[in-house]
Chain A
Amino acid sequence: NAGVTQTPKFQVLKTGQSMTLQCAQDMNHEYMSWYRQDPGMGLRLIHYSVGAGITDQGEVPNGYNVSRSTTEDFPLRLLSAAPSQTSVYFCASRGGYNEQFFGPGTRLTVL
């Protein structure tokens, strides 16, 4: 049981490049979400999904795209990276009592 896994762990992009951050969970959780963590800001919700085929926006969705084709996977896409998207990204899945399980994070730098 691996829990929530994320790849890559580190990524450097140039402004305007695109990339996909991968997230997978093996706990059969319906709810999954993406957060970004910035110094002094805590974690902020980007997008979430309540099940395959259903996604919705969180607090800071601009510049990000998501899809949910399977229960296990919830990738986050940056279509045209900007320096403001330099951050640490965490994927989470939610079990009972709204407890969220977090992945190890992806540290993204946009130059």
Chain B
Amino acid sequence: AQSVTQLGSHVSVSEGALVLLRCNYSSSVPPYLFWYVQYPNQGLQLLLKYTSAATLVKGINGFEAEFKKSETSFHLTKPSAHMSDAAEYFCAVKGGGGADGLTFGKGTHLIIQP
């Protein structure tokens, strides 16, 4: 079984500041890890994914995440926040193969202050 913990249901940063959204996971097998973004009244869009290749993963819109096995973390970062980054962000894990679906964190609402 796997689980995901996202620290902070709301994160507020100033425009131009560093964005850091935290995600810790537990998995009994090597995981696949994902970050999704959800804009208001829309579906989920994949930002980036970790699939056991490079530990530093680059995604769309300038986001990246680093897989740290020793810390069981997959934190999402962006060097400089834009107003358009305001959205809900979800970390998700899938434990290896098998037919089960993704396990999602509860989400972090990112607020960008002008």
Contacts and interface: CB of A to CB of B under 8 A. Distances in A.
Interface of A: 31, 33, 35, 40-45, 48, 50, 56, 58, 90, 92, 97-105
Contact of B104 (A44, A56, A98, A103): A44
B34 interface: yes
Interface of B: 4, 9, 32, 34, 36, 42-46, 49, 51, 90, 92, 94, 99-107
A26 B44 CA distance: 18
Given A42-B104, A44-B104, A97-B49, A102 B44 contact: yes
A90 B44 contact: yes
A74 B92 CA distance: 22
Q: Which 9 A-B pairs have the closest CB atoms?
A: A42-B104, A45-B101, A102-B44, A42-B106, A43-B104, A102-B43, A104-B43, A97-B51, A98-B32
Most buried by B among A42, A48, A98, A103: A98
Contacts of A48: 99-101
Contact of B107 (A42, A44, A99): A42
Most buried by A among B36, B43, B46, B92: B43
Contact of B94 (A35, A43, A98, A105): A98
Contact of A90 (B34, B43, B46, B49): B43
Contacts of B106: 40-42
* SS class, residues of chain B in contact with chain A: strand
Contacts of B42: 104-105
Contacts of A45: 100-103
Nearest to A90: B43
B93 to A, nearest CB: 10
B99 A31 contact: yes
A56 B99 contact: yes
Given A42-B90, A99-B34, A35 B101 contact: yes
Contacts of B43: 90, 102-105
Most buried by A among B94, B101, B102, B105: B101
